[in-house]
Structure 1
Amino acid sequence: MVILDKMVSDRGSRYAVSGAPVAGRDGIADFLAGLKRDRKFARATHNSWACVLSDEGPVKNDDGESGAGAIILKMLEREGLTDHVICVTRWYGGTHLGGDRFAHVVTCVRAYLEHMRASGG
């Protein structure tokens, strides 16, 4: 599991991105359970994620951050990355961000994908 913490901070909201290779829906569930073992992530406002499973196709979950899962999924599909879950975590800071929240999701996923390319993953 790779976690890139403190990716974006905007009007009190903070973002992180994490991900890992997975095998099926059980792998996604194991990844999320492992992430949430860290109390910080368990208490986050949103853990939005997406994955393209080689045997089932695309799956996503906004976790209350409407539209975030679709953005992550679209980026995964463009990248051609399968059997790899990416999760963008947001800790809500008390101010609605409007459309800026989508830009922050994109920033986080881009950083994760760049990290994966740089590390050979």
Structure 2
Amino acid sequence: MIADRGSVYAVSGGPALGRAAVDAALAELKTQRRFARATHNSWAARLGGAGTKADDGEAGAGAIILRMMETEGLDDHLIIVTRWYGGKHLGGDRFRHVIGAVRHYLAHRPR
């Protein structure tokens, strides 16, 4: 987890072999009350080489996640960065935290 000025970030993800798997993973994540109450669940997925993303109100976050997945060559996978807003605007630091969360995921994901 990453914490900054009251905001907290977490990252999760896993294999996804199609849009139905992405939707199921997002629905499963949101069954946990903590994640359902998060301010943002931004995500990106690469499915068969094609990317899809959603910012969930955190403008630009999905594009960052997707770009990092493309650079890594990570395919048929979903990465979700969750943010609980702490009451203070982070400006550009929010992008730094999204990048840090994705880097952590990529470094520690099961191979």
- TM-score bin, normalised by smaller chain: over 0.9
% same residue: 63
Give the TM-score normalised by the residue count of structure 2: 0.98
- 1:44 aligns with 38
Which residue of structure 1 lines up, in the alignment, with residue 6 of structure 2? 12
Instruction: Note the residue ranges of structure 2 that are not aligned, 5 or more in a row.
Output: none
Instruction: Answer yes or no: is 1:96 the counterpart of 2:86.
Output: no
Tell me what 1:3 maps to: none
Q: Which has the higher contact order (CA 8 A, sep 6+)?
A: 2
| 1:30 aligned residue | 24
Q: What SS does the aligned partner of 2:41 have?
A: strand
For 1:96 and 1:70, how far apart are their aligned partners in 2?
20
Q: 1:111 aligns with which of 85, 104, 108?
A: 104
TM-superposed CA distance for 1:23, in Å, is: 1.5
Please state how far the C-alpha of 1:41 moved relative to its aligned partner. 0.2
One-letter code aligned to 2:73: G
Distance in 2 between the 1:43 and 1:70 partners? 23
Between the aligned partners of 1:61 and 1:83, the Cα distance in structure 2 is 16
Q: Of 76, 79, 91, which aligns to 1:83?
A: 76
**Amino acid across the alignment from 2:41:** N
Scaled by the length of structure 1, the TM-score of the pair is 0.90
Pairwise CA RMSD: 0.9
Q: Which runs of 5+ in 1 are unaligned?
A: 1-6
Aligned to 1:69: 62
Q: Give, in whole Å, the separation in 2 of the partners of 1:19 and 1:53.
A: 13
CA distance in 2, matches of 1:82, 1:51: 8
Give the structure 1 partner of residue 15 of structure 2.
Answer: 21
Instruction: Tell me, in whole angstroms, the C-alpha distance in 2 between the residues paired with 1:112 and 1:51.
Output: 14
Q: How many residues align?
A: 111
